[in-house]
Amino acid sequence: MNRKALRTCTYGLYLITSRKGERLNGQIANTVFQVASDPATIAVAINRQNLTHEFISDSRAFAASILSQDAPLSFIGLFGFQSGRNVDKLKDARYELGGTKVPIVIDYSLSYLEAKVVDQLEVGTHTIFVGELVGAEILREGEPMTYHYYREIKRGTTPKTAPSYIEEKKEAKSEMEKYECTVCGYIYDPEPGDPENGVKPGTPFQAIPDDWVCPVCGAGKDQFEKV
Ligand code: FE
C-alpha cells in the first residue's frame, strides 16, 4: 500500500472557528466540504485533542473561512501550529460574530460558511462534525488556497494532528544544506529561500539574519537543525 496516493486527493485550506462561553478559538483544517444541498449542509473533520474540538462540542456551532492564496505562512502557522490553550489566536485577527455567536475571521478570507452542528461521527483520532448552513457570504474576489498550493508553492508543513499527516523520510542529498524547524517540521531550503520574509533565493541558512523566524510557527533560528 502506498499512502502517498492519499496526497493526490485535492483539498482546500480553511480556518475553522468556534467559541465556548466567552472564549474564542480557531484552527486550520483542510477538510471542509458540502455534503448535502437541501438543507445546505457542510462537514469538517477536527482532531479530538484540539481546543477547537472542545469549543465546537460545547457551542454546537462553527464557522469556516475559506482562505485566499495570499494568506501568509505566519498567519496559517499561528492558527495551524499554535494551540489556543497557550495563546489567544484571535487577538490580532479581524473577525465578526455570526448569528450563532461564533467568530468569523475576515483576514485573508474570500468567503465564509457558518453552521450549526446537527450530527457528528467519531472516526479514530477525529470527529466529523456535520453542520447545517446558517450563514454564508462572499468577502472578496481571489483564488482560494488549495492544500497542494500551501504545501508545494508556499512550502507549508502539516502538523501531526491533521488527518492528512504522513510521516516523511527526509531526502538527504543537496548541494546547499537544508535546515529543519524542530518545532513544526518546516524545512528551510536555500534554493527558494524565504522571499515572503525578505530572504532571497540562494541564501544559505547561516547567512539569514538572526532575527528571522520560522515562517510557519515563529520559532527562532536556533530551533533549526541541519537536515
Ligand atoms: Fe516552525
Mind listing the pLDDT tens digit for each residue in 134-175? 999 999 999 999 998 888 877 788 888 888 887 765 544 445
% of the chain surpassing 70 pLDDT: 96
Cα(223) to centroid(ligand 1), Å: 8
Q: Given this model, what pLDDT does residue 174 score?
A: 47
Cα(170) to centroid(ligand 1), Å: 16
In whole angstroms, how far apart are CA 166 and each of 21, 47, 114, 177, 189?
35, 15, 30, 23, 20
Q: Which residues contact 200 (CB under 8 A, 6 or more apart)?
A: 193
Strand duo 224-226 + 126-138: pairing: unpaired
Mean pLDDT over each residue of the chain, to the nearest integer: 92
pLDDT tens-place string over residues 22-54:
999 999 999 999 999 999 999 999 999 999 999
* Mean pLDDT, range 49-60, rounded to an integer: 97
Cα(122) to centroid(ligand 1), Å: 30
CB atoms closer than 10 angstroms to residue 153: 12
Cα(35) to centroid(ligand 1), Å: 34
Q: Given this model, what pLDDT does residue 175 score?
A: 56
Cα(98) to centroid(ligand 1), Å: 32
% of the chain surpassing 90 pLDDT: 73
Cα(187) to centroid(ligand 1), Å: 8
Q: In this structure, what are the phi and psi dihedrals at residue 213, rounded to the nearest 5 degrees? A: -125, 160
**Confidence (pTM):** 0.82
Q: Given this model, what pLDDT does residue 169 score?
A: 57
Cα(130) to centroid(ligand 1), Å: 32
Q: Given this model, what pLDDT does residue 173 score?
A: 45
In angstroms, rounded to a whole number, what is the distance separating the alpha carbons of residues 51 and 85?
A: 7
Cα(205) to centroid(ligand 1), Å: 14
Q: Which three cell numbers stand for residue 107?
A: 483576514
In angstroms, rounded to a whole number, what is the distance separating the alpha carbons of residues 207 and 107?
A: 32
**Of 98, 87, 94, nearest in space to 109 by CA:** 94
Cα(217) to centroid(ligand 1), Å: 4
In angstroms, rounded to a whole number, what is the distance separating the alpha carbons of residues 158 and 160?
A: 7
In whole angstroms, how far apart are CA 17 and each of 101, 148, 195, 226?
11, 22, 30, 35
